[in-house]
């Protein structure tokens, strides 16, 4: 390849990396007005809290954060929002007792036509 083409590809790569970095830095989660995430550690741009988590025993980090921030902790890892629940009581309440609020499946109109309207994978909780 010529130096001109190689330089153009490097410039394009740099522009894409900078674009992705800026997009993830300025991308804010869309929450309804007045709703806030639970408390949690301050995160870095792009990486979030990834450097603070022990990859061999992440539960130790989450337990430490639970002691520091409370039983429900918000963390961001590589641009993905995560909620860590450090209490069995809260986990049962949210994930079992209120599961209808959080676990909805989309209804697919053609499933009934093909006779697969009552399958576990496509079952919508009413």
Walk along the chain (126 residues) in steps of 10 and give the mean pLDDT of each run.
62 82 66 82 83 86 91 86 88 80 63 60 50
- pTM to 2 decimals? 0.56
The Cα 50–Cα 44 span in angstroms is 9
Give residue 91's Cα distance to chain centre: 17
Tokens found for residue 73: 């902790």
Q: State the pLDDT at residue 20.
A: 76
Q: State the pLDDT at residue 7.
A: 61
Q: State the pLDDT at residue 69.
A: 92
Q: State the pLDDT at residue 77.
A: 84
The Cα 77–Cα 48 span in angstroms is 5
Q: State the pLDDT at residue 126.
A: 47
Give residue 18's Cα distance to chain centre: 22
């Amino acid at each position: 390849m010529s130096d001109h083409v190689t330089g153009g590809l490097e410039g394009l790569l740099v522009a894409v990396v900078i674009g992705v970095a800026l997009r993830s830095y300025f991308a804010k989660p869309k929450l309804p007005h007045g709703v806030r995430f639970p408390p949690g550690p301050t995160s870095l741009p792009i990486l979030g809290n990834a450097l603070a988590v022990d990859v061999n025993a992440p539960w130790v980090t989450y337990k430490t954060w639970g002691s520091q921030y409370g039983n429900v902790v918000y963390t961001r890892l590589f641009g993905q929002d995560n909620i860590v629940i450090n209490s069995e009581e809260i986990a049962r309440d949210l994930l079992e007792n209120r599961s209808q609020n959080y676990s909805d499946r989309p209804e697919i109109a053609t499933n009934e036509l093909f006779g697969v309207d009552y399958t576990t994978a496509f079952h919508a909780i009413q």
